[in-house]
Structure 1
Amino acid sequence: MKNITLKNIDLKKLAIATMLIATTLPIFAQDGNAGIMEANQKVRSYFESGTQLMYAVGALIGLIGAVKVYQKWNAGDQDTSKVAAAWFGSCVFLVVVATIIKSFFGL
């Protein structure tokens, strides 16, 4: 029976890892510009739907805020104006950010 030592196992692992790296290096040595252009196209394809999603989330936040403010107003709470300003501000912020991003990038 052969003695297996930790040193032999580590050398085998190192040899296998070196062979794997050597065989996969040509895969990563491709034209980087093509990858950047592909990523650019993918991001641009999602941009319009992303801004539409931001508008939808802003509208949903506005509706939820309107219901919360209405509940507080009917309950006679004193801080109704603070809650209304917070909900309205968050709704406007989302819509403004989506509009600015859309106009800034010109897509």
Structure 2
Amino acid sequence: MKKHFLIFCCSLLALGAMAQPGISEMQQAQQNLRSTFFSALDCALALAAIFGIIGAVRIYHNWQMGHPRIDEQVAAWFFAAFFMVLAGAFLRGVFGL
């Protein structure tokens, strides 16, 4: 009895899988994304540049004020900008934008 129920459930899953949109619909969705939104990589690079400029100004200010430990701030702002560059490349690769 359990075996028949399992086969029935698997066949229902197979029917649901055949109801998914086809390749032409996926290509149309990708084309719509490409025409509507600008590149995620361009956005990430712009954000990384903003993070870099803001971080440089804050680090320079703290350095001039005589704060003894700015190494953590330098690393934090650098890796924030680096993360944005990698996130943009990742999104570009995932969505194909």
Aligned to 2:40: 50
Amino acid at match of 2:41: T
CA distance in 1, matches of 2:88, 2:62: 29
Moved more, 60-69 or 41-50: 41-50
Amino acid at match of 1:70: Y
Aligned to 2:28: 38
CA distance in 1, matches of 2:92, 2:45: 12
Q: 2:63 aligns with which of 61, 73, 85?
A: 73
Equivalent pairs, count: 77
Percent identical across equivalent pairs?
A: 33
Q: 1:93 aligns with which of 69, 80, 83?
A: 83
Please state how far the C-alpha of 1:36 moved relative to its aligned partner: 4.3
**TM-score, length-normalised on structure 2?**
0.61
**TM-score, length-normalised on structure 1?**
0.56
Amino acid at match of 2:48: G
Larger RCO, structure (CA 8 Å, separation 6 or more): 2
Partner SS state of residue 78, structure 1: coil
**Structure 2 residue 73 is the aligned partner of structure 1 residue 83:** yes
